[in-house]
A and B are shown apart, each in its own frame.
Chain A
Amino acid sequence: MSIVTVQLGQCGNQIGFEVFDALFSDSHCSQGFCSKKENEAYQASCKERFFSEEENGVPIARAVLVDMEPKVINQTLSKAAQSGRWKYGQHSCFCQKQGSGNNWAYGYSVHGPRHQESIMNLIQKEVEKCDSLSGFFIIMSMAGGTGSGLGAFITQNLQDEFSNSLRMNQIIWPYGTGEVIVQNYNSILTLSHLYRSSDALLVHENDAVHKICAKLMNIKQISFSDINQVLAHQLGSVFQPTYSAEGSSHYRRNPLGDLMENLVPHPEFKMLGIRNIPQMPENSLAYSAFTWAGLLKHLRQMLISNAKMEEGINWQVRPPLSGLPPLGRASVGAEPHFNTSIANLVILRGKEAHSADLEGFKEPALYTSWLKPVDAFSVWRTQRAFRRYEKSAALVSNSQFLVKPLDTIVGRAWNMFASKAYIHQYTKFGVEEEDFLDSFTLLEQIVASYCNL
C-alpha cells in the first residue's frame, strides 16, 4: 500500500525533500547485509510506498507540495531534479505569491478555504496513482503560518474526504528560545485542531535534533539542512519496509495502519516520538561495531529516562518496583521522572536482528496500568540493514516524553494570552478568543491525561 505525503510550508517542504532523498538512497544502497532477493523485495516495497511509476526511468515521489509563496518550492523541485535519481511530479505543487505571515488564522481561515479545491484536487490526483492507499503523511511545522494553519485545515479536509484512510502528521516542535514570536499561539491552535482530525502526531523537537547534530554528528556549524537530514534518517528508519511477522519474508503492506494499531490504542493519547540508536556521522560507520544487547540496553534507558539521544543518558532513573505506583504521581516539574509508556514499538534492522533479546522492554512496570505489555509492546525485525548501519534500532513510543515541552508551550501561550498581546492579529482573520480558550482547554486535558498515566 502507498503513502501520499503532503509537504506544507517552508519547513514541510525542506524536510520532505530530505525524507524522500534518504528513503531513495537507502533503498538503492549497495550494502544491505542481506541476500540479493531480499534487497530487491525491499526496494520494490519502498518504491510501492513512496514512489510512483517512472517515465523515462526516474521515480517520482508520491508527494504534494504546498506553500503560500514560491521560493522554497522552487528550490525543493530543483534540488530533487538536479539529483537525477528521483524527482517530484511537475504538476504536484500548489503555490501562491504571498505567504501566511506566520499567522495561523491566515493559514487556516483565509488560505484554507480559498485554496481548498485546488489543493484537494492535487491530492486526489496523487491518490489515484496509488493501487491502494495506506494513508497520508503530512509534514508541517507548528510555529509558522502555512504549515501550522493551512496544515490543520488540510488535515481536517482529509478527514472529511478520505475518512477511510489514515492521517499521520509529522510535526516540528520549534526551538524553545524562539524562532517565531507567536509560535506558542500557533502551536496550541495547531495541536488542538490536529488532535481532533489526525490519527497520530509524530513529533520532532528542533532542540533535540539540534543536540544530536552537535553531540553525535559532530557538526560544528549546524544548518537546517543538517537538522533535516537527521530527521529524515529517523523517519526513514521507521517507514522503510519491515517484515510483517517474526521470521516471515514478506514486507508489511500497511505501514501506517500497522503503526497506528500498535501505538495508538486510545484516542486521548496520540503523540509519538522516535529515538534511534546508533546515530553517527557516515564516515565513522566503518569503525564502529555494536552488539544488540548494548544497543537495546541504551535504547531502553533512553525510553525510561526520557533521553532524546544516546549521550548523556541518566542511568539513575529506574522503573518503579512492581506493585507500587510510579515515583511521584507525575507533577510536571519533578525530576528525575520516570517516563511511563502507553505503547512502544521497536524496529530492528540489520545483522542477526532475529536474535536480539527484547525482554527488557516487556516489563509491566514500564507501562501504564491499563495495558498489558503483550498489548503495549511490539517488535519488528528485518535482516536488511538501514543506510549501511550494520545494526540499528528505532523506538517509536507513545509515552510521557512530550509532557514537559507541551506544558511549557501551553504555559507561555497562556501568559501571552492573558495580556492579550498579538490577539488582534488573529481576530482580524476570524480566530476569536473563544477559539483560543477551546484550544487551551483541550491541551490542558491532554497534559493532565498524560501526567496521570
Chain B
Amino acid sequence: MTQSVVIQVGQCGNQIGCCFWDLALREHAAVNQKGIYDEALSSFFRNVDARVVGDGGSISKGKISSLKARAVLIDMEEGVVNEILQGPLRDVFDSKQLITNVSGSGNNWAVGHKVFGSAYQEQILEKLRKSAEHCDCLQCFFIIHSMGGGTGSGLGTFLLKVLEDEFPEVYRFVTSVYPSSEDDVITSPYNSILAMKELSEHADCVLPIDNQSLFDIISKIDLMVNSGKLGAAVKPRSLVTASAEALRKRHKKPFDAMNNIVANVLLSLTSSARFEGSLNMDLNEISMNLVPFPQLHYLVSSLTPLYTLADVNIPPRRLDQMFSDAFSKDHQLIRANPRHSLYLACALMVRGDVQISDLRRNIERLKPSLQFVSWNQEGWKTSLCSVPPVGHSHSLLALANNTCVKPTFLELRERFTRLYKKKAHLHHYLQVDGMEEGCFTEAVSSLSALIEEYDRLDATKGMPVQNLPRLSIAV
C-alpha cells in the first residue's frame, strides 16, 4: 500500500485542504470500526505517540494513538493557517510541517514564485524530505492551490519544479482552482497564465476546478433540499457545513460547501487505492490511462450523485441516473460540456454497491451519445471500490480528458491579452528580480501551443473512423 502527501498552498489551497482532512477522518472513522491503524489509514495519516517529543514517535501498527496528516501547509500569510491550528483539526497537523510568513504575496505570481520561492526553497525541501521519510512507499503528491492569486499560484507552481527534481518518481497531482470571470483579483489572468506554463511542464495530472461551477452545484443541492418535494432533510452532522446555523449562512458564505466538493473529489480519487474492490485502480493508473500525450494532462471531473456532496437524505434514484448525470454539463467542476466535445479518454471510478454488469450496461448505453477520438473509440478506464462514501450506498467520479477544457483556456488567454495589451499592472511583476517580459510571452505561447493541440484534435471530431492499412504479411 502506498502513501500520499498533500501539499496545500495559499489561502484557497489551505481551506480546501482543511475540508479534505476533515472528510478523510470521518470516512476512515466510519470504515475503521476497530480503531486499528491499518494500511488504508496509513495512506494519508501517520500514527504517532503524542507523548514522544521530537521525531521518534511513529507507530506503524496496532491501535490508533494519535493521527497526523501527511501534509505540508504553506502560506505566506498567517491568517488561514492560524485559523486551522486553532480549529477542531489542530491536533491532526504536525506543527513542524508548516511554512508561513506574514506579508503575503500581494496577488502577485512573481512574488510567490521568485521571491518566496528562493527564500523558502531550503525549508520547503526539508519539510518535503521529512514527510517522504515517514512514508514506506510514497506514490503521490497532491498539490492544492488556486491559480488566480500570488502564493497558491506562484509558490505552488514553484514547488512543482522542486518536486520534479527531488522526487522524480513520485506523481504530482495538482488540483487547481481557476479564476471565474467574475473574479475580483484584477491580476488573476497574469497569475493564471504564468502558473499554467508550470503546470503544463511539471505536473503529471491537473484537475481544473472553477468556483462558478462549484457554486452552481451548491445552488442545485439547495434547490433539492428546499424544494421539499422529495421529503429531503439535511442530515444532522452534515458533511457540507459543521452546523445548522452555518447552513443558513450558506448563501452568504458558500465556500465551505464548495471546498467540500473538491475534498470529495480527492477522496474518491484515492478510494480505490485505499480500500478493496473487485476492480482496483491505483493512482499511477490514472496517469497511465488518461494522459495519452505528456502535455495533455488536464482532466475534467464530475462527482455524482450530487446529494452525496450534501449528505442529504434523498432516497436514492435509479443507479443509471448517476451515470447519466456524470456526463451532463451541469455536473462538471469546470464550465464545460463534455458531450459536445471530443473525448480522448474517460475514467469511471465507482464506489459502493455497484457491480461490473451495472458498469458495462451504462457504458453501452451512454457511449453512442459521446464522441471519442478516432484512435481511442473504446477509451474507458473503470474501477470498482466496495466502500461507498459515508452514509451513502454508491457514488461515481468521472475523470475525462476532453477537449472541453479548451474554452476555459481560451477565455483565460483572452483576459490576459486584454490586460497585457495595456501593460496594466505589469510593473508590479517586472520589478521582481528575475522577471522580464519574456516570462509573459513564453507563458502565453506555451498556452497557445496547448490550445493548438486541442484544436487539432477537435478538427478530427465527426470524421469517420478510418481503419489504417495494416501490416501485410507474406504467408
Given known contacts A10-B279, A223-B356, A424-B293, A177 and B284 CB-to-CB distance under 8 angstroms: no
List of B residues within 8 angstroms of A424 by Cβ = 293-294
Contact status A441-B355, CB under 8 Å: no
CB distance from A431 to the nearest CB of B (A): 13
What 0/1 readout, one digit per residue, does chain B (378-392) give for beta carbons within 8 Å of chain A?
Answer: 111110100000000
B2 within 8 A of A: yes
> Known interface pairs A97-B2, A177-B380. Does A72 touch B290 (Cβ–Cβ under 8 Å)?
no
Q: Are B284 and A101 in contact (CB under 8 A)?
A: yes
* Known pairs A97-B136, A222-B356, A448-B475; A71 contacts B276 (CB<8 A): yes
Tell whether A181 pairs with B289 under 8 Å between CB atoms, given A97-B2, A101-B282, A418-B375: yes
Q: Cβ of A177 and Cβ of B289 under 8 Å apart?
A: no
Cβ contacts under 8 Å, A164 to chain B: none
Most buried by B among A410, A419, A440: A419
What is the total number of residues of chain A having a CB less than 8 Å from a CB of chain B? 53
A416:B276 contact, CB within 8 angstroms:
no
> Given the interface contacts A97-B1, A98-B139, A214-B357, does A181 sit within 8 Å of B345 by beta carbon?
yes
Say which residue of A14, A103, A411 sits within 8 Å of B467 (CB atoms).
Answer: A411
B256 surroundings in chain A (CB, below 8 A):
none
| CB <8 Å contact, A412 and B357 | no
Residues of A within 8 A of B290 (CB): 181
Measured between C-beta atoms, what is the minimum distance from A415 to chain B in Å?
Answer: 5
B376 at the interface (CB under 8 A from A): yes
A425, B1: Cβ atoms closer than 8 Å: no
Residues of A within 8 A of B2 (CB): 69, 97-98
Closest to B471 in A: A444
Query: Are B39 and A179 neighbours in the complex by a CB distance under 8 Å?
Result: no
Is A182's CB under 8 angstroms from B289's CB? Answer: yes
A227 in contact with B282 (CB, 8 Å): no
User: Do the beta carbons of B356 and A410 come within 8 Å of each other?
Assistant: no
Q: Is the CB of B355 within 8 A of A221?
A: yes
B360 interface hit (Cβ, 8 Å): yes
A71 x B1 contact (CB < 8 A):
yes
Q: Closest Cβ of chain B: how far from A147's Cβ, in Å? A: 12
Residues of B within 8 Å of A145, CB to CB, are: 285, 288
Using a CB-CB cutoff of 8 Å, which residues 173-216 of chain A contact chain B? 175-182, 210, 213-214
* B287 neighbours in A (Cβ, 8 Å): 101, 425
CA distance A422 to B344 in the complex (A): 11
* Residues of chain B with a CB closer than 8 A to A179's CB: 279, 380-382
Q: Determine the distance from Cα of A444 to Cα of B471 in the docked complex, in whole angstroms.
A: 7
User: Residues of A contacting B1 with CB < 8 Å?
Assistant: 69-71, 97
Q: Which of B356, B360, B377, B472 has the most CB of A within 10 A?
A: B356
Q: Would you call A177 and B364 a contact (CB within 8 A)?
A: yes
> Given A71-B1, A97-B2, A415-B374 in contact, is the A210-B284 Cβ separation under 8 Å?
no
Cβ contact within 8 Å between B473 and A419: no
Q: Within the assembled complex, what's the spacing in Å between the Cα atoms of A340 and B381? A: 35
Known: A98-B137, A210-B357, A421-B376. A182 touches B467 (CB 8 A): no
Asked if A132 lies at the interface with its beta carbon under 8 angstroms from chain B, I say no
Q: Determine the chain A residues whose CB is within 8 A of the CB of B39 once the complex forms.
A: 70
Which residues of chain B are within 8 angstroms of A411 by Cβ–Cβ distance?
Answer: 467, 470
> In the assembled complex, which residues on chain A have CB atoms less than 8 Å from the CB atom of B292?
421-422
Asked, given contacts A72-B280, A102-B285, A181-B376, whether A415 binds B471 with beta carbons under 8 Å apart, the answer is no
Contact of B367 with A by CB under 8 A: yes
A63 to B42, CA, bound (A): 30
Check if B473 sits within 8 Å of A177, measured CB to CB: no
Q: Is A243 among interface residues, defined by CB-CB distance under 8 A? A: no
A227 to B356, CA, bound (A): 10
Contact A177 to B367, CB < 8 A, known contacts A97-B2, A214-B357:
yes
A414 to B357, CA, bound (A): 28
The distance from the CB of B151 to the nearest CB of chain A, in whole angstroms, is: 32
In the complex, what residues of A have CB within 8 A of residue B467's CB? 411, 415
Asked if A249 is at the interface (CB within 8 A of a chain B CB), the reply is no
How long is the Cα–Cα vector from A145 to B290 in the complex, in angstroms?
Answer: 15
Other-chain contact of B360, A97, A102, A103, A210 (Cβ < 8 Å): A210
Which residues between 100 and 122 of chain A lie within 8 Å of chain B, taking CB atoms?
101-103
Residues of A within 8 A of B183 (CB): none
Instruction: Verify if A218 is at the interface (C-beta below 8 Å from B).
Output: no
Whole-angstrom distance between the Cβ of A115 and the nearest chain B Cβ: 14
User: Given contacts A222-B355, A222-B357, A449-B475, is CB(A177)–CB(B363) below 8 Å?
Assistant: yes
Residues of B within 8 A of A70 (CB): 1, 39
Interface pair A178/B382, CB less than 8 Å apart:
yes
Assuming the contacts A177-B367, A421-B376, asked whether A223 and B282 have C-beta atoms less than 8 A apart, the reply is no
Cβ of B468 under 8 Å from chain A: yes
Enumerate chain A residues within 8 angstroms of B382, measured Cβ to Cβ: 178-179
Chain A residue at minimum C-beta to C-beta distance from B381: A181
Which of A75, A224, A414, A420 contacts B470 (CB under 8 A)? Answer: A414
B358 at interface, CB cutoff 8 A:
yes
Q: Quick one: which of B284, B288, B367, B465 contacts A182, CB cutoff 8 A? A: B288
A449-B474 Cα distance, complex, nearest whole Å: 10
A440-B471 Cα distance, complex, nearest whole Å: 8
Give complex CA distance A103, B360 in Å: 23
List which A394-453 residues lie within 8 A (CB) of chain B: 410-412, 414-416, 418-422, 424-425, 440-441, 444-445, 448-449, 452
Interface centre among B285, B293, B363, B465 (most CB of A within 10 A): B285
Is B289 in contact with A180, judged by CB distance below 8 angstroms?
A: yes
Closest to A96 in B: B137
Contacting residue for B285 out of A97, A101, A444, CB 8 A: A101
Q: Which of B116-153 contact A (CB under 8 A)?
A: 136-137, 139
Tell yes or no: A369 within 8 A of B by CB: no
B residues contacting A by CB (< 8 A) are 1-2, 39, 136-137, 139, 276, 278-280, 282, 284-285, 287-294, 344-345, 355-358, 360, 363-364, 367, 374-382, 384, 465, 467-468, 470-473, 475
Q: What are 10 A-B pairs at a CB distance below 8 A?
A: A14-B278, A69-B282, A101-B288, A102-B381, A103-B284, A178-B363, A181-B290, A414-B468, A416-B375, A421-B293
Q: Which 10 A-B pairs have the closest CB atoms?
A: A101-B284, A178-B380, A222-B357, A421-B292, A97-B137, A223-B355, A224-B278, A181-B289, A419-B375, A178-B378
18 A-B pairs besides A412-B377, A419-B374 with CB distance below 8 A are A70-B39, A97-B2, A102-B288, A102-B381, A175-B360, A176-B378, A179-B381, A180-B285, A210-B360, A222-B356, A224-B384, A414-B471, A415-B465, A420-B293, A422-B288, A422-B292, A441-B471, A449-B475
